[in-house]
Amino acid sequence: MKKKKIIAANFKMNKTHIEVREYLKSFFKKLKEFSSTGETYDFNDNAEIVFAPSFTALNEAYNIIEENLEFSNIVKLASQNIYCEASGAYTGEISIDMIKAFNCSYAIIGHSERRWIFNESEELIAKKISAVLNYNKKIETDTRNARDKNAEKEKRSVKSAAISPILCVGENLEIRKSGKAFDFVAAQLNSALTGYTKELNGGTAQNKDMFRPIKTSKSINKHHEDSVNTNASDIDTDTDAGRLVIAYEPIWAIGTGASIEPEDGEKMHKFIYEYLTDNYSIENFSVIYGGSVTEKNINVLMEKAHIDGVLVGGASLDPQSFFNIYSFAVSK
Ligand code: PGA
């Protein structure tokens, strides 16, 4: 089974819903032209393009994606944040149900700008991840019930309803220089992923059954091996619904133009793979890179075995530039 690459655009606090509409129209036009050439790769199954516009533009983005249904397997929506409660007196916050109403497949959680500018704590980030896991758990139960009732249609609709958290981690320059980047990232993973089972190393997490992919997949080692070695046609899209995505985003590389050296990126991504495999029984995850990704460095980054995709900020704001990043990433 091959893992889909994730090429994600984080618009941050940029673009009104009208600007997002113009952007997406232009992007889909390019995608159509690209798909009609179709020589270099299996267009449908190679990668997902994920757009994270501001909350005010999610509705518009959803409408444009609906108008381009032939790309619904490829183009997905993400929210830039969520709150951990389902509803209530939380002025200014957005629930999972609210983003799901626009068919978001992903939610960015713990972006460094949320952590450092808005003082989001490790505890809050862990609660947000747990809220997503609980949400997916409910979806899984509904799926199982639908299966019991043999309700094929219902089963399909609940499968696509899972949310994949994109958990952002990454060290600042001081920590990198002190040689403690790996410890720091491990600590961030540990505190954010309290909802995940730690049974592999005899850990004591309570929520043993809290998260499994919607359809059980092979072990993670096998999974990654397969992801490197097999054909796009072997992709099982069901296993991607609700999978955990880790975005390694070193703070010193975000918005600075100073991206990580690909070798150093690969080292950290490999470390994250091994850390999750050794300490958690998470069956399905991807590790993507963020921090000054551009058309110039996408090829070298995507050549690395443990870099499953990218989260792009500044260079995603121009549709041509982000389209080039996507097309370079999938044309390998
Ligand atoms: P950047 O931002 O590409 O502008 O560095 C990446 C991010 O913060 O997700």
pLDDT tens per residue across span 233-271: 333 344 577 899 999 999 999 999 999 999 999 999 999
pLDDT, position 197: 72
Residue 210 reports pLDDT greater than 90: no
Number of Cβ within a 10 Å radius of residue 83: 18
Q: Which residue is it, tokens 């704001």?
A: 317
Let me know if 111 is a catalytic residue. yes
CB of residue 314 inside a 6 A radius of ligand 1: yes
pLDDT, mean of residues 153-181: 85
Q: How confident is the model at residue 32 (pLDDT cuts 50, 70, 90)?
A: very high
pLDDT at 43: 59
- pLDDT per residue as tens digits for the range 159-169: 468 999 999 99
Closest residue by Cα to atom 1, ligand 1, is 313
Catalytic residue chosen out of the listed positions 48, 113, 171, 249: 249
**Degrees, nearest 5: CA angle 161-128-224:** 65
Name which of 109, 169, 168 is nearest 135 in CA terms: 109
Give me the pLDDT at residue 156, please. 54
Q: 254 in ligand 1 pocket by Cβ < 6 Å?
A: yes
3-state secondary structure 112-154: HHHHHCCCCCHHHHHHHHHHHHHHHHHHHHHHHHHHHCCCHHH
Summarised one tens digit per residue, pLDDT across range 273-297 is 999 999 998 878 999 999 999 999 9
Is residue 249 annotated as a catalytic residue, yes or no?
Answer: yes
Residue for token digits 């516009």?
A: 53
For residue 292, give the ligand 1 atom closest to its CA: 5
Domains of the chain: 5-330 (3.20.20.70)
* Percent of the chain at pLDDT exceeding 90: 70
